[in-house]
């Protein structure tokens, strides 16, 4: 950990989510399921195939301690369609919220089901 | 007889069962061998499926939580497809993990170029901090799994269907003196030791056996090299892969280097590893001819 608070250098897109899946697994193996893992991505980062590998796997692995935050600022030049619908198709509990609304964000972040959750924050 | 791959998997199961800090990430390969690990503790033995980028990323996540992750799949899909994951998630991130491949170079010669991996050592060897191991026998393979799985650095262990006739008692550092002679220094890597020794019949050579190709044990090479300028490198990966490290280690003296290895071209003919050896000039007879011609 070279920068306090920054656990992973994810400047290269598509690396953070697979690593977060591993952290979620590791916490479960250590018996620390209550500890949650948040991973921050963006709509354009979801172009990377490695994310969809991890999304597919985490959806089937049912990791309730994992939360994916997608900042959807329409930065991708490729139209992805509704991101939350795609995540739900992969088995995630996904909601879309106004990324400027703190109450909505808090509600979304505190959801916990029997599998991974995703918050698509539109800004 | 147990193969290198089987011995590697048995050693993985062994360290997994003995050390609660080992995590195993599979990519749908060798599951039968690894089933005992899953039965022992499924929470840290994960088959992610055929997704090698995520397999490496998930392993890095385990490493972030203090585990010693082990990842296994076939060589091209462990060394080339997730190269950036190993570089960044492990190398740049400063984590340790053991990556064990099966199907070296043209071991799976009948499967075609998709399953060939002559470039694995060179590709992964470009990552700072990595250690690249090329054992030549099942016994060495098991030993290296046990001695490196918790070494705290990214480590690639290449198993092969090609083996030496006998295991070697390995020196620390990964470069072992097999014999000493004045006429030429020969570095033979991994499973190419036996054919190299056969090729050297009648030549009074110093033979060094390399099981660690990255980083090459420069100190031992500089100390043990024969006085003659001639040096021959015989490696079961792309020709010249380790030549730069040899040249650097011997920079203090004049050296003439012959690099023997897998030709850098796509192999478009299908056949067994032995048939490719003959086709590519990598059997003992062809190696002998090249060394003889080089020595003049």
Closest CA to B145 of B211, B198, B87, B236: B211
> Using one digit for the tens of pLDDT, what is the confidence trace for B213-255?
999 999 999 999 999 999 999 999 999 999 999 999 999 999 9
B45-47/B22-26 β-pairing:
parallel
Average model confidence (pLDDT) across chain B:
97
CB nearest to B62's CB, from A7, A26, A49: A26
B62 min Cα distance to partner chain A (Å): 5
CB contact under 8 A, B44 and A27: no
Closest CA to B134 of B158, B118, B161, B151: B158
pLDDT of residue A5: 76
Does ipTM come in above 0.85? Answer: yes
Chain A residue numbers touching B93 (CB-CB < 8 A): 8-9
Asked whether B188 and B234 are in contact (CB, 8 A), the reply is yes
CB contact under 8 A, B51 and A19: no
Pairwise CA distance, residues A119 & A41, whole Å:
10
> Using one digit for the tens of pLDDT, what is the confidence trace for B139-177?
999 999 999 999 999 999 999 999 999 999 999 999 999
Pairwise CA distance, residues B210 & B199, whole Å:
17
* Mutation for testing the A interface, residue in B24, B28, B43, B58 having most A CBs under 10 Å: B58
CB contact under 8 A, A19 and B46: no
pLDDT of residue A3: 79
Spacing of C-alpha B231 from chain mean position: 21
- B270 pLDDT more than 80: yes
Asked whether B169 and B176 are in contact (CB, 8 A), the reply is yes
> Using one digit for the tens of pLDDT, what is the confidence trace for B39-96?
999 999 999 999 999 999 999 999 999 999 999 999 999 999 999 999 999 999 999 9
pLDDT of residue B123: 98
A104 min Cα distance to partner chain B (Å): 29
> Using one digit for the tens of pLDDT, what is the confidence trace for B252-266?
999 999 999 999 999
Asked whether B234 and B196 are in contact (CB, 8 A), the reply is yes
pLDDT of residue A1: 59
* Mutation for testing the B interface, residue in A1, A16, A18 having most B CBs under 10 Å: A18
A36 min Cα distance to partner chain B (Å): 13
Q: Is this prediction's pTM over 0.90?
A: yes
pLDDT by 10s per residue, chain A, length 123? 567 877 888 889 999 999 999 999 999 999 998 999 999 999 999 999 999 999 999 999 999 999 999 999 999 988 778 999 999 999 999 999 999 999 999 999 999 889 999 999 999
Helix ranges restricted to H, chain B: 4-18, 31-40, 52-64, 75-79, 83-85, 120-125, 138-148, 193-199, 218-224, 243-249, 273-280, 284-295
pLDDT of residue A9: 81
Residues 6+ apart with CB under 8 A from A58: A17, A21, A24, A66, A92, A115, A116
CB nearest to A57's CB, from B51, B60, B66: B51
Asked whether A67 and A87 are in contact (CB, 8 A), the reply is no
Residue located via tokens 């003919």: B269
């Amino acid at each position: 950990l070279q920068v306090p608070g920054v656990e992973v250098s994810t400047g290269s897109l598509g690396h953070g989510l697979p690593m977060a899946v591993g952290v979620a697994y590791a916490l479960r193996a250590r018996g620390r399921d209550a500890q949650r893992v948040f991973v921050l991505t963006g709509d354009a980062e979801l172009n990377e195939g490695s994310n969809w590998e991890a999304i597919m796997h985490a959806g089937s692995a049912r990791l309730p301690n994992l939360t994916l935050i997608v900042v959807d600022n329409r930065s991708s030049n490729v139209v992805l369609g509704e991101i939350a619908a795609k995540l739900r198709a992969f088995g995630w509990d996904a909601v879309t919220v106004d990324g400027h609304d703190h109450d909505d964000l808090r509600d979304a972040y505190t959801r916990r089901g029997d599998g991974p959750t995703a918050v698509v924050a539109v800004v | 007889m147990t193969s290198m791959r089987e011995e590697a998997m048995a050693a993985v199961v062994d360290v997994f069962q003995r050390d609660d800090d080992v995590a195993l990430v599979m990519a749908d390969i060798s599951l039968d061998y690894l089933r005992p690990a899953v039965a022992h503790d499924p929470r840290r033995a994960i088959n992610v499926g055929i997704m090698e980028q995520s397999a490496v990323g998930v392993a890095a996540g385990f490493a972030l939580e203090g585990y010693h992750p082990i990842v296994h799949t076939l060589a091209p899909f462990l060394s080339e497809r997730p190269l950036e994951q190993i570089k960044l998630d492990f190398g740049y991130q400063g984590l340790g993990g053991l990556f064990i491949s099966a199907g070296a170079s043209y071991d799976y010669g009948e499967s075609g170029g998709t399953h060939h991996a002559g470039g694995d050592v060179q590709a992964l060897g470009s990552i700072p901090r990595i250690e690249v191991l090329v054992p030549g026998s099942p016994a060495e393979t098991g030993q290296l799994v046990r001695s490196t799985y918790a070494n705290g650095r990214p480590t690639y262990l290449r198993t092969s269907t090609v083996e030496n006739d006998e295991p070697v008692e390995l020196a620390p550092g990964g470069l072992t003196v097999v014999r000493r002679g004045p006429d030429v220094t020969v570095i033979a890597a991994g499973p190419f030791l036996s054919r190299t020794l056969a090729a050297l019949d009648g030549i009074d050579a110093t033979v060094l056996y390399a099981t660690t190709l990255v980083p090459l044990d420069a100190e031992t090479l500089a100390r043990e090299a024969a006085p003659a300028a001639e040096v021959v490198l015989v490696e079961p990966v792309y020709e010249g892969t380790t030549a730069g490290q040899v040249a650097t280690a011997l920079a203090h003296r004049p050296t003439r280097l012959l690099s023997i290895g897998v030709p850098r071209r796509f192999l478009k003919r299908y056949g067994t590893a032995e048939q490719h050896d003959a086709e590519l000039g990598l059997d003992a007879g062809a190696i002998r001819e090249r060394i003889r011609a080089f020595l003049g």
